[in-house]
């Protein structure tokens, strides 16, 4: 195989990013088919991506399209059955996070991956493919900061997007399942250990609609890991200045900080308000390179039989930790993670 022919399922906010990367930016990939339950998105596939082979029925795409692989970027609750159906029909699969919305679903996806060891499965924890995060991981693994014993992670969405988050709140599974999963994955990755205990709390000061949906606009969680290390995760919906993703890994011999100021770029603007660093505005802007690099890795794995850096088990473990965090937040009690 010299080209990986891909069908994409889901052409919403993130689906469009992956679709453009597959169609126009990856030499070994070809976007052959697209599936969405939104008719306008299928028009988009035809007019903007040049894909004529479009479907509103996912199983029909699997049965009829001339594809080697599927890229699943649908609503989270659809991921696991779509992963299983694709693998069982002989297709390689890239799936967006979260793997599933409950552990039973995640186990169903794990079993399907195990049934097909000859097919590639990769989960989209794209932060691992961001240049700064992958550099930090190399530094840590080389011993540069000694033994890492704490991670402090912040992920706050721009307030400009808060109305969408409010609309979605009732079905999001709560702020920790929806938002903290990237940070949880990074903590596991950097500390090279699994979380065994969590305490969590939430707060709402600006948008009472979150409380009405039994959610919170801000969440804070503290974890203890099996190797004794600690992690603190702060997630939120109301950054007035843009998209704030920041991570600090502290070790016995030093610290690595990633985007301590979530700057748009290296430009500083001198004006009447002083000297300003503009903030990055959204996840597609901040992680543009990472979305491309992770998809390049997926295609490389399919074409050359390599194993991807993010497995189905990373998906199950991060979901289990996010569930325990949600339970801790709801009960106000520390929760042991099995």
Ligand X SMILES: NC(=O)c1ccc[n+]([C@@H]2O[C@H](COP(=O)([O-])OP(=O)(O)OC[C@H]3O[C@@H](n4cnc5c(N)ncnc54)[C@H](O)[C@@H]3O)[C@@H](O)[C@H]2O)c1
| Beta carbon of residue 287, minimum distance to ligand X (angstroms, whole number) | 6
Q: Mark the segment that binds ligand X (CB under 6 A) among 34-42, 152-160, 198-206, 224-232.
A: 34-42
Using CB under 6 A, which of 9, 113, 184, 310 touches ligand X? 9
Nearer to ligand X, 96 or 251 (CB): 96
Contacts (CB under 6 A) with ligand X, residues 109-138? 124, 126
Q: Mark the segment that binds ligand X (CB under 6 A) among 73-81, 110-118, 131-139, 269-277.
A: 73-81
| Beta carbon of residue 166, minimum distance to ligand X (angstroms, whole number) | 15
Residues 95, 83: Cα–Cα separation, whole Å: 7
Joined together, the tokens standing for residue 79 give 């991921």
| Beta carbon of residue 221, minimum distance to ligand X (angstroms, whole number) | 19
Contacts (CB under 6 A) with ligand X, residues 241-300? 283
Contacts (CB under 6 A) with ligand X, residues 157-186? none
Contact between 25 and ligand X by CB under 6 A: the answer reads no
Look at the block and give the residue holding tokens 């543009």. 288
Contact between 58 and ligand X by CB under 6 A: the answer reads yes
Contact between 35 and ligand X by CB under 6 A: the answer reads yes
| Beta carbon of residue 291, minimum distance to ligand X (angstroms, whole number) | 8
Using CB under 6 A, which of 28, 37, 241, 264 touches ligand X? 37
| Beta carbon of residue 253, minimum distance to ligand X (angstroms, whole number) | 32
Residues 91, 62: Cα–Cα separation, whole Å: 8
Nearest to 153 by CA among 119, 129, 176: 176
Nearest to 288 by CA among 20, 5, 3: 20
Nearest to 31 by CA among 43, 44, 13, 18: 18
- Say how many residues touch ligand X, by CB under 6 A: 23
Burial class (CB in 10 A: 0-12, 13-18, 19+), 303: middle
Helices (H), the chain: 13-20, 39-49, 58-64, 79-88, 103-115, 131-141, 162-168, 175-179, 181-191, 209-212, 283-286, 288-304, 312-331
Nearer to ligand X, 55 or 225 (CB): 55
Residues 310, 294: Cα–Cα separation, whole Å: 10
Nearer to ligand X, 11 or 22 (CB): 11
Residue 109 · residue 86 · CB < 8 Å: no
Q: Which residues contribute to the site for ligand X (CB under 6 A)?
A: 9-15, 35-38, 41, 58, 73-76, 78, 96-97, 124, 126, 283
């Amino acid at each position: 195989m010299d080209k990986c022919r891909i069908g994409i399922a889901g052409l919403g906010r993130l689906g469009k990013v992956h679709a453009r990367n597959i169609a126009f930016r990856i030499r070994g990939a070809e976007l052959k088919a697209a599936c969405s339950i939104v008719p306008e998105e299928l028009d988009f596939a035809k007019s903007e991506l040049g894909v004529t082979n479009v479907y509103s029925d996912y199983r029909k795409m699997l049965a009829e399209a001339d594809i080697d692989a599927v890229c699943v970027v649908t609503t989270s609750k659809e991921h696991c059955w779509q992963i299983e159906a694709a693998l069982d029909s002989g297709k390689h699969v890239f799936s967006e996070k979260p793997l599933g919305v409950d552990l039973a679903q995640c186990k169903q996806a794990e079993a399907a991956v195990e049934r097909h060891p000859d097919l590639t499965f990769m989960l989209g924890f794209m932060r691992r493919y961001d240049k700064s995060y992958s550099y930090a991981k190399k530094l840590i693994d080389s011993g540069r900061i000694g033994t890492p014993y704490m991670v402090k992670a912040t992920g706050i969405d721009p307030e400009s997007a808060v109305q969408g988050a409010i609309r979605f709140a009732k079905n999001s599974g709560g702020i920790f399942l929806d938002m903290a999963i990237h940070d949880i994955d990074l903590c596991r990755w950097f500390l090279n250990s699994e979380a065994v205990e969590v305490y969590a709390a939430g707060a709402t000061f600006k948008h009472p609609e979150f409380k009405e949906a039994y959610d919170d606009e801000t969440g804070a969680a503290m974890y203890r890991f099996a190797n004794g290390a600690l992690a603190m995760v702060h997630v939120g919906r109301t950054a007035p200045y843009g998209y704030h993703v920041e991570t600090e890994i502290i070790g016995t011999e030093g610290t690595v900080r990633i985007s301590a100021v979530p700057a748009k770029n290296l430009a500083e603007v001198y004006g009447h308000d002083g000297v300003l660093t503009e903030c990055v505005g959204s996840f597609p802007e901040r992680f543009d390179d990472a979305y491309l690099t992770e998809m390049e890795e997926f295609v490389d794995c399919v074409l050359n039989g390599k194993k991807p850096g993010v497995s189905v088990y990373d998906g199950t473990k991060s979901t289990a930790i996010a569930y325990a965090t949600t339970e801790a937040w709801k009960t106000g009690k520390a929760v042991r993670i099995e």
